[in-house]
Each structure stands twice: as structure tokens, then as C-alpha cells.
Structure 1
Amino acid sequence: MRIGFLVASLAALCLAVTGCKKEQAAKQAGGGAEQQKPLRMGFFPNITHAQALVGNASGAFQQALPGIETKMFNAGPAAMEALTSGSLDASYVGTGPAINTFLKAGRELRIIAAAVDGGAVLVTKTARSPAELKGKTLASPQLGNTQDITLRHWLGQQGLKVGQDVTVTPLSNPDILGLFLNGKIEGAWVPEPWGARMVAEGGGHILVDERDLWPQRRFHTTVLVTTQKALTERREQLKKLVRVHVELTRQWQQQPDAFVSRVNDAFSKVTGHPISEPVLKDSFTRLEPALEPVPAQLQTAAEHAQQLGFIASSDLKGLVDDSLLREVMATPSAAPDAGP
């Protein structure tokens, strides 16, 4: 009986040791239950999500992360709701929704890389100065979104009160363009390519190029975000995602004309309508690729939103975590081919 008990104990010990070794090997290989699940990434069908469009269309994300699930959203709040609920692991998104989600959803969101700078303008039909906007109606893409906050803050700086001197109406970008073409609104603060379309199709005038309001004419339009939970449980997968993002950004920096063409091809695939060449080129004169988040820019944007009453605090401590980006940029590129 003692011998039998000894044999059974030894067998159990062997199984336990084997199991521990397997678990350790899985962890070393970037395993764990969460690491084995496909990564889920969100993006918008906008040219301000250029790297996401090209990476999705070229298969670069799929090659680096087999089985990755990409989901398209029309607005930042919906994407951020999916992220905080656990339906997404990462997403490209504007700074406004990112900051809002960080402050209102337990400070769990993390910006892990910048993506696109610039590309927002105030286009008007007749006004050629702030004073000429008095009594007019302007539009923004969504109440409290990045462009809406910028427009309201800028109007205040010009001594114009929203609701008294100027009316600001939140509308979808396609509706903004339609009403502008029909003369129903004076103008709008919009992201590209909508600004370029208002100029090309509606005879609009760029009253304000938002770059002129920022130091060195740079501000983040799009960033890549995740959650602290995903950073802990899916770090190796997110690192691969960041590596592809860096590779695509470098392609944009090194071969801008070729990359812009690929953006339009990808945009056409997801929307069914390519952007006309003049509008595309005009749009990208105001867009720049970006990688490293600039906390000072994010802080300024948060303070503007707080001043307008959209958020109660502008404390962004912990929002940026660029550790993955620094790891990727410190090592030789090992990203899969992200296309020609």
C-alpha cells in the first residue's frame, strides 16, 4: 500500500511539474488565455486613420496578428464604448473621445502611439473674418467631439458667444457638406477630406487652418489607444500591432505620394467611393504622419474641454503609455511587409 501511495504521489508530482513547465513556456512565448485570442482593433473609414486603412487593406495587420478582428466605427464614442466594455482591445480614435473616455471610464484608457497630426479647418462661404460670423450658423461633426470643442473655444477667444452671436449645430460630415452646398449654413469646423471638399465643391474659403493655433503647427488628430487591462494581458500582441503601425508610418514619411495613393485605394474599398485626386492632394497638404504622443498637446485639449464644461477635470496623469512604442523603435524593424 505504501509503495502504491508513493507511486501515485510521484505521478501527481510529475503532472504538476509538467503543467507548470507548460504554463511557463506559454507565458514565455507570449501565451496565456488572453494572448491566444485574436486581437480586436477598431478604426474609422476616414483618411485621418490612414495607417489603419492601409494596414487593413494590405493585410499587414493580419500577417502580423493572424486572426485579428478589425471593426469599423463611424464615431469616437461608439468605438470607446466598445473598448471600455471589453469588445475591443485597441483602436484608432480622435484625441477628444480618448481624453473623455480616460476621465470618465475609470482612467483605464491608454494612448500608446500618435498616428496623424493636423487636418482640421474652419471653412466658410462668405465670412472672411471672425466678426463676419456674427448672426451666422456654423456646424461641427458631433457635440463635444474634437472639432466641436476647438470651434467653441476659438469662437470664445474671438469674443463670440455660442447661442447668442453664433449658432453651432452638430451634424454628420456628409450632412454638413450637403447643407453647405445648398447655402443652409455659413461654414463648419471639420476634419479632412471634408474641408477640402467644401472648398472644391462648394467654393468655400479656409478661414482657420487649425495648425495655426498650435505650437510648431502640430496637433494630434488621431491616436492609437488601448486599455491598461489589455496592456497587461495582451502585451505581446499589442507590441506586434505597434510594430506594424510604426512600419506603416515610416512608409508614409519616406514615400508620401505612394502612401497617399494607397490610402485612397483603401478608402474606396471600405466606402465604395474614392476621393477625387484634387481633393485628396489638398487634404494631405494639411495631414502629417505621427508616432510619439505629445502630452502637452493633449493637456491643452483637455483644458479647453474643461473650460467649456464637457469634462470636470483636466488631470491626464497616466493617460500616455509609450513603453511599447519605445521598445519597438529601439529594436531593428521586424514588422512584416506592410506593402509596397
Structure 2
Amino acid sequence: MRFEALVVGLAALCLAASGCKKEQGGEQAATKQAAQGEQRPLRLGFFPNITHAQALVGNGSGDFQRAVPGIELKMFNAGPAAMEALTSGSLDASYVGTGPAINTFLKAGRELRIIAAAVDGGAVLVTKTARTPAELKGKTLGSPQLGNTQDIALRHWLGAQGLKVGQDVTVTPLSNPDILGLFLNGKIEGAWVPEPWGARMVAEGGGHILVDERDLWPERRFHTTVLVTTAKALKERPEQLEKLLRAHVALTRQWQQQPEAFITRVNESFGKVTGHPISEPVLKDSFSRLEPALDVLPGQLQQAAEHAKQLGFIPSSDLSGLVDTSLLKKVMGEQGAQGAPR
């Protein structure tokens, strides 16, 4: 009996030791993986749009490169492509519209995280002849992309006006340049677009702003652009993301405190990446409807998700876990930035 007890005791000790080694090995592997993650360059996505103002300036001025040594910036033309890169591991963070962010969160394992707001406002419905919703009957309107942020806003608004898409009004997804060209040629009545395309439709095509989307939201605030990452990146690359957020906060403050100088820098950077800076009148008109932002409005995101669900673009409007502003709060607390721009 004593011998059997001794054997059992030794076996238990071996198992415990083995378990401890495995646990320690797992912890060491996780620590090593996180360390390797911090060593790799942070990869940040953005679009050549003025609604990605901080990203344009941060890229063009080298602010991002100084804040996050080795950072790699990648430019995209549409939200879905950027979000695919993020979820596949080709990106670590990105500036993006709320529509693609919500869609990706709900359809790609709920791994996406919004870590800061960037830009509010800057979307309008511009028409050529219609001055009331009723006058849109029988007309064709454009939107930048099926199911994107502006497309959902347009379809939801039309429904609220009692107008049925496909029956009373035709909505055609088109690229922003094509929208402008068709509008100038009288091929479409108008479109719901982000800036500077709304201002261009007004300045170059004699358009009329039928709806300023700010008027549809509480306090006239809705997010056009947010800064996103993944749960994995937050775990493995917190220091790099924190540095990125410091640069984002600094750029946002510059916009609030010296708007004219900042807007000039946005246009310079926009001109570098596109080859065509925006004319001064269009630039000023565009930015009259854009505002810098930092804090995230969960209620606004929830309402946007409910609109998308009602239209059948997403399967659920449950956004629990989408927003994680812990790093942003840390950065703003360190900088005494509680009073920073919204």
C-alpha cells in the first residue's frame, strides 16, 4: 500500500510539473508573440479622401512616421478592401467609415474594434431640380457604393419620406467621380455623397443641398470616419497603437485650434496623393460641414446599425464589444486632453 501510494504521489507530482511547464510555456509563447508583434512595423490604412483629414496630414507631414517608427502606410480606395486587409492580418489599424466598420465587426467574428473617432459630418444629398422629397419621384439618385455609409443613409431617408427604392426612386451605386460626371451631364438627378463631392456638385454642377445629413442626427453629430484595429492587435501591439493614438490626438487638436492652417495642410497632402489639389472655394465649402472628432458615440453607431439591419445589409444590430477606447482615454489622460475636440 505504501509503495502504491508513493507511485501515485510521484505520478501526481509529475503531472503537476508537466502542467506547470505547459502553463509557463504557454505564457512565454504569448509574451514572445506579443514582443514580436511590437517589433514588426505597424501597418496603417487610409483613403485619399478629405474625410480622412488626420490621416492625410499625418502621412504627408511625416507625423505618423515620427510618432511610430517604422510605420507602414497603405492607401485604399474603398472600405471593404481595407477591412478585408485588416481581418486577414495585412493591416493592423485603419481609418474607415462607420458602415464598413460595423459590417466587418458583425460578419468577421466580432474582432474589429473602434478605438477613436476621427471626423464627423460631411455628407449631403445634392439635387439638380428637386427641392422637396416628393419631387424625387421618378428620378435616379446615385450613392458611392451599395451598402456603404452614404448608401444606407440615402435609402433609410427615402423610406422615412415614404419613397420606395425601385418603385418611386431609382438608386444607382456609382463611384464618386462617375456621380459627378453623370450629374454634370444631367444623367442623374442627384446623389448622397461625402465631401468634397457634395461641394463639387454644387460648385461645378449648380446643385442644391436638399439634405445636410447633420440635420438628421442628435446634436448634428454623426461619425463619417473612425480609427479601427482588431482585438488581436490591441493585445499584441498596444504600445504602437498608443503611439498612433498620440499622433491622432495631436493632429485632431491642430485641426480644432488652427483650422485654416490645418485645412491647407490637408489639401497639400491630398494633392500629393491624387495629383489634383481641391480648389479653394470647394475646399472651404467642404470643410464647413466637417468637424474633428475623438470620442466615440456608441448611440450613433447603434442607430446606424439599426438602419443597416432594417435595410437588410447586416444580420444583427448587436454592437456589444465594438468600441474600445481604453488606449484613447489613457493618451488623453496623460496629455490632460479631457477638453480636447469632440
| TM-score (norm: length of structure 2) | 0.89
Contact 1:76 1:97 in 2 (8 A): yes
- Mapping 1:250-269, distance limit 5 Å: 250-269=253-272
1:128 is matched with which residue? 131
Q: Give per-residue Cα distances to partners, 1:246-294, cap 9 Å, x unaligned.
A: 0000000000000000000000000000000000000000000000000
| Partner-residue secondary structure (3-state), 2:334 | coil
Asked whether the 8 Å contact 1:115–1:222 carries over to 2, the reply is yes
SS at 2:321's partner residue?
coil
Aligned partner (choices 229, 234, 254) of residue 231 of structure 1: 234
Residue by residue over 1:71-110, the C-alpha shift from the partner in whole angstroms, topping out at 9 and shown as x without a partner, is 0000000000000000000000000000000000000000
Q: What is the CA-CA distance between 1:309 and the residue it aligns to?
A: 0.3
* 2:315 alignment partner, one of 312, 328, 332: 312
Match of 2:201 in 1: 198
Residues in 2 aligned to 1:294 and 1:314: alpha-carbon distance in whole angstroms: 15
The answer to whether 1:281 aligns with 2:284 is yes
Question: 1:103 aligned to 2:106?
Answer: yes
3-state secondary structure, aligned to 1:138: strand
Residue identity opposite 1:222 in structure 2: T
Deviations 1:176-206 (A, max 9, x none): 0000000000000000000000000000000
Superposition deviation, residue 333 in structure 1: 7.4
Matched-pair contact (CA < 8 Å) for 2:128–2:207: yes
Q: What is the letter of the counterpart of residue 203 of structure 2? A: A
For 2:162, the equivalent position in structure 1 comes to 159
How far apart are the structure 1 equivalents of 2:178 and 2:259? Answer: 30
Task: For 1:263 and 1:321, locate their aligned partners in 2 and report how far apart those are by CA, in whole Å.
Answer: 27
User: Which string of whole-angstrom CA distances, capped at 9 and with x for unpartnered residues, describes residues 30-79 of structure 1?
Assistant: 97111100000000000000000000001011111111110000000000
Distance 2:221 2:289 in 1: 10
Native 8 Å contact 1:138 1:167 kept in 2: yes
Matched ranges for 1:1-340 at <5 A? 32-332=35-335
SS in 2 for 1:330: helix
Aligned counterpart, 1:9: none
Q: CA deviation at 1:332?
A: 2.6
Which runs of no fewer than 5 residues in structure 1 stay unpaired?
1-19, 335-340
TM-superposition CA deviations, 1:210-234 (whole Å, max 9, x none): 0000000000000000000000000
Residues of 1 paired with 2:62 and 2:182: CA distance?
37
Residue pair 2:50, 2:196 contacting (<8 A) in 1 also:
yes
Distance 2:250 2:201 in 1: 32
**Alpha carbons 2:114, 2:325 under 8 Å: kept:** yes
Structure 1 ranges of 4+ moved more than 6 A: none
- Whole-Å separation in 2 of the counterparts to 1:248 and 1:333: 15
For residues 63 and 219 of structure 2, the distance between their equivalents in structure 1, rounded to whole angstroms, comes to: 32
Distance in 2 (alpha carbons) for counterparts of 1:322 and 1:32: 22
Percent sequence identity is 84
What is the CA distance between 1:312 and its match in structure 2? 1.0
Whole-Å separation in 1 of the counterparts to 2:69 and 2:218: 40
* Residues in 1 aligned to 2:276 and 2:326: alpha-carbon distance in whole angstroms: 38
Distance, in Å, in 1 between the alignment partners of 2:336 and 2:183 is: 46
Residues 243 and 333 of structure 1 are in contact (CA less than 8 Å); yes or no, is this contact kept in structure 2?
no
Distance 2:263 2:295 in 1: 21
Q: Give unpaired runs (5+ residues) of structure 2.
A: 1-23, 338-342
**8 A contact 2:34–2:236 mirrored in 1:** no
2:34–2:235 CA contact under 8 A, matched in 1: no
Rounded Cα–Cα distance in structure 2 between residues aligned with 1:245 and 1:77: 23
**Structure 2 counterpart SS, 1:110:** strand
Distance 2:280 2:204 in 1: 13
- Equivalences, count: 310
Greater mean deviation of Cα atoms: 268-277 or 64-73: 64-73
Residue of structure 2 equivalent to 1:338: none
Secondary structure of the residue that 2:146 maps to in structure 1? coil
Distance 2:209 2:201 in 1: 9
Q: How many Å separate the matches in 1 of 2:133 and 2:221?
A: 22
Paired residue type of 2:252? T
